[in-house]
Structure formats: structure tokens, C-alpha cells
């Protein structure tokens, strides 16, 4: 885990991620925007995996991150009312959400997405990224980047001064 002392602007949750390259790229995005990365086990790789660190390049040392054993343990750490669930099954567009600093953006496994039970726990907080019908979904790391920058763009357009960590 990182010892970076900043307060996260966002919390990014990867629920049971499978591909180390994606997680490494998400970690890099988290460093860029000042988000904390949460990984919910089981993981499809070891956290010391070469590919994970390679995708995060030399930024991993600056990443504020934590691994939790399961979904319930994650819920003990973060306020559930701040969760936004990203899923191809949502009818609400990401641009229709009103993000606030400290929100929790939750993304599912690359192969299966978020479980139905999680999606159904708060369907009004489920969001989707627009894709043409020829594409099932965007790559996980791309989805995280789009969502993070949508949130930050909303804040800036709304006049919120969003400081990025040094």
C-alpha cells in the first residue's frame, strides 16, 4: 500500500479484477486524478504481478490503494450512499449523474461485469457509458478514465476548484 497522505477526490473500486494490465492502467489513472484504488478479492493476479506494475509504470509508488477480502469488507470502509455502479445494463448515462468529491465509482470484472445482486441493490445509481450496438462495452481501464474525467469536468464546470495532489 502507498503511504501517500492525500485525501482522495474519488474512490475507484475494481470488483474482482482479472487482468493485471487493466488494473495497472487504472492505478495510473488514479494517480493522475487523485483517486484511491480499491481492489475487491478474489483477484485474477497477484498484487506483486510484474504485469500489474508494468502497466502502472513507475507511478505505482504514488498510488493510494487498498485490497479488501470481499464486498462486505469494502462496505465497512466506504459510505454506500456515495456508490455509483458502472454496468452495461444501466439505462442512465454517466453524464446524467451528479458526482461529488469523495464519490465511489464501482466497476466489475472484465469478463462478467458487476453481479446482478450488486446492480440491483441500487438501480438508480447504475450508470453506463454510451457505446454503439456493435460494442458490448469499453475496456475496463478506459471506462475508469472516462468516468473519472467526467466527474472532474462536472466539478470544474460547476465552479468547484478541484485541487490535484502534488
pLDDT over 70 at 158, yes or no: yes
Mean pLDDT of 62-81: 95
Backbone angles phi, psi at 52, to 5 degrees: -65, -50
Q: So what's the pLDDT on residue 4? A: 47
Q: So what's the pLDDT on residue 149? A: 94
Cα gap 107→110, rounded to integer Å: 9
Residues 23/55, Cβ–Cβ less than 8 Å: yes
Mean pLDDT of 115-124: 97
Instruction: Kindly tell me the number of DSSP H helices and DSSP E strands found in the chain.
Output: 5, 6
pTM: 0.91
Q: So what's the pLDDT on residue 57? A: 57
pLDDT over 60 at 1, yes or no: no
Largest CA distance in the chain: 43
Mean pLDDT of 117-146: 94
- Sheet of 64-68: strand order equals 64-68, 35-40, 10-15, 104-107, 83-86, 126-127
What would the DSSP string read from start to end of 43-69? Answer: PSS-TT-HHHHHHHGGGGGG-EEEEES
Cα gap 56→63, rounded to integer Å: 9
Domains of the chain: 10-157 (3.40.1280.10)
Q: So what's the pLDDT on residue 92? A: 96
pLDDT over 50 at 47, yes or no: yes
Q: Report the range out of 18-22, 30-34, 70-74, 131-135 with the highest average pLDDT.
A: 70-74
Cα radius of gyration rounded to whole Å, the chain: 15
What does pLDDT average to over the chain?
89
Q: So what's the pLDDT on residue 3? A: 47
Q: So what's the pLDDT on residue 121? A: 96
Q: Which one has a higher pLDDT value, 53 or 122?
A: 122
For residue 132, the number of C-alpha atoms closer than 13 Å in the C-beta half-sphere is 1
Amino acid at each position: 500500500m502507498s503511504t501517500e497522505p492525500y485525501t482522495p477526490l474519488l474512490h475507484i473500486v475494481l470488483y474482482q479484477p482479472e487482468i493485471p494490465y487493466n488494473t495497472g492502467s487504472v492505478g495510473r489513472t488514479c494517480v493522475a486524478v487523485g483517486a484511491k484504488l480499491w481492489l475487491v478479492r478474489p483477484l485474477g493476479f497477484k498484487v506483486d504481478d510484474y504485469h500489474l506494475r508494468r502497466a502502472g509504470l513507475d507511478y505505482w509508488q504514488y498510488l493510494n490503494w487498498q485490497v479488501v477480502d470481499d464486498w462486505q469488507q469494502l462496505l465497512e470502509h466506504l459510505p454506500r450512499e456515495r456508490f455509483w455502479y458502472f454496468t452495461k445494463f444501466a439505462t442512465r448515462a454517466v453524464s446524467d449523474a451528479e458526482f461529488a468529491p469523495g464519490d465511489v465509482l464501482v466497476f466489475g470484472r472484465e469478463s462478467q461485469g458487476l453481479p446482478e445482486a450488486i446492480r440491483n441493490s441500487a438501480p438508480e445509481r447504475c450508470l453506463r457509458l454510451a457505446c454503439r450496438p456493435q460494442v458490448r462495452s469499453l475496456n475496463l481501464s478506459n471506462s475508469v478514465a472516462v468516468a473519472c474525467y467526467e466527474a472532474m469536468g462536472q466539478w470544474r464546470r460547476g465552479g468547484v476548484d478541484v485541487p490535484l495532489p502534488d
